[in-house]
A and B are shown apart, each in its own frame.
Chain A
């Protein structure tokens, strides 16, 4: 299943490495990354594939959220379908 990970927060060194490490630990494959710093805020969008994920989706979302919180980041994972539905006819 494809999902979108969004990471938003104050820019610090090593955010991408940190988030990628958490995803790798849980068997999630990263397909695409786009990242920018907008108004001092670090914003990263990742397209990931959770087919090989070792934990269920809710647990993964929780792990990402808690890991993000520890670094002052808002990290979400959502199924790609919701964005497709809202923005494409």
Chain B
């Protein structure tokens, strides 16, 4: 039998250290929902989502009660709408977002991802229509999340898309007072089975319907590291590995159970350390526990590299299928420690950019001054995409140029999205760079230095 200490340890993790399943996300293919007529197409989408995800929330809640482990979010991701709805004879893609929003509300999920386009090498007509619709779509809906993939290691970076997305981010901010930008991600090397919002979509290589689970647990890792103060790094790495193993095993168990009850294949467990604004649920706290006075201090990138790698090493043994983004997230507004460091001027965008070289995912939930130009947003996207392209990893940009706010102000997104201090951006212009357009060619994969 399991020992008393092990049982109490698990209960302590759940009740004191914020251990939870961050999301159970059902991926649904919309590839059979295309139709030339807009109304028919929207009807097919609504029917399919509400049919497949009808029991998702109820099942999640049942599992939550039986295992005594909180499942914070139940969500749905769908085939990128630019692909699924391309055959529809309409120039306006906003009605598709409204349909997704209605379907999400009907099944009781808080976010639905997949108002997306993959344009790393170029645009189709549907891609253009979708991207043009993003600002209005995010203004007209509550639950819809949007993402656009602008680059990949195999294709290079589509700089026309980068330029366009800078303008889309700015326009979205104007229409939604910044809030809509929290639901808009620009990717390089986007993954097709990511369960985490706002970047989730159901890739074209995925099955008809699938269950993906995202685990979390920065608080648990932080707590475990408190017990090895002053120990050398191999002890730190070993402690993180063991903790990640336990957290992931729980995710695997929940994923298998949800898959069985819903009669839907199990896809992957995404073993990410996803912070929340709650005290004690912070990735920054883990880095500071390793001996940094503040996240952002010299040494932060090395600490994060160790953390990210040890989480993966512990997690891969615990699950039969690991996928998604899998790594440590560093969203500024969603992490109390990051907010603290950013507000104190100890964490800058440049340091965050360096950190994204060694962790998943990218410049995430960062509030920028309202007067940041579209070209500067595009240039930030280009830098981040370049890191992803060269390092063969996923990178993303989710920045919020908040209209009317300047450095030192704070913007509140509410709930899990938290609040963020507006961070300073280098004022030098990249206008002529972004105006060039075209493509940055795919990188060479040998001669690595």
Instruction: Tell whether A and B belong to one assembly.
Output: yes
Which one of B4, B8, B250 contacts A82 once the chains associate, using CB atoms below 8 Å? B250
* A82 with B68: CB separation less than 8 A: yes
User: Chain A: which residue is nearest B63 at the CB level?
Assistant: A79
* B2 with A81: CB separation less than 8 A: no
* A82 with B67: CB separation less than 8 A: yes
User: In the bound complex, what is the Cα–Cα distance between A47 and B11 (angstroms)?
Assistant: 15
* A83 with B4: CB separation less than 8 A: no
* A4 with B4: CB separation less than 8 A: no
User: In the bound complex, what is the Cα–Cα distance between A80 and B1 (angstroms)?
Assistant: 10
- For the residues of B in contact with A, the DSSP-based class is helix
Q: Does B231 interact with chain A (Cβ within 8 Å)?
A: no
Specify which of A61, A78, A79, A85 lies most central, judged by the most chain B CB atoms within 10 Å of its CB.
Answer: A85
* B1 with A82: CB separation less than 8 A: no
Number of A-B contacts (CB under 8 A): 62
Interface residues of A (CB under 8 A from B): 4, 6, 8, 32, 34, 36, 43, 45, 47, 57-58, 61, 76-88
A-B contact pairs, 25 of them (CB 8 A): A4-B2, A6-B7, A32-B1, A34-B4, A43-B4, A45-B4, A45-B8, A47-B1, A58-B62, A61-B66, A76-B11, A78-B67, A78-B68, A79-B67, A80-B2, A81-B67, A82-B253, A83-B2, A86-B6, A86-B246, A86-B249, A86-B250, A87-B6, A87-B10, A88-B2
Contact size range, B: 20 to 34
List residues of chain B with CB within 8 A of the CB of A36: 4
Q: Does B252 interact with chain A (Cβ within 8 Å)?
A: yes
B261-278 toward A: CB 8 Å interface, digit per residue (1/0)? 000000000000000000
Q: Does B65 interact with chain A (Cβ within 8 Å)?
A: yes
* B68 with A76: CB separation less than 8 A: yes
Q: Does B69 interact with chain A (Cβ within 8 Å)?
A: yes
* B8 with A43: CB separation less than 8 A: yes
User: In the bound complex, what is the Cα–Cα distance between A82 and B67 (angstroms)?
Assistant: 6
List residues of chain A with CB within 8 A of the CB of B11: 6, 8, 76
List residues of chain A with CB within 8 A of the CB of B67: 78-79, 81-82
User: In the bound complex, what is the Cα–Cα distance between A68 and B11 (angstroms)?
Assistant: 16
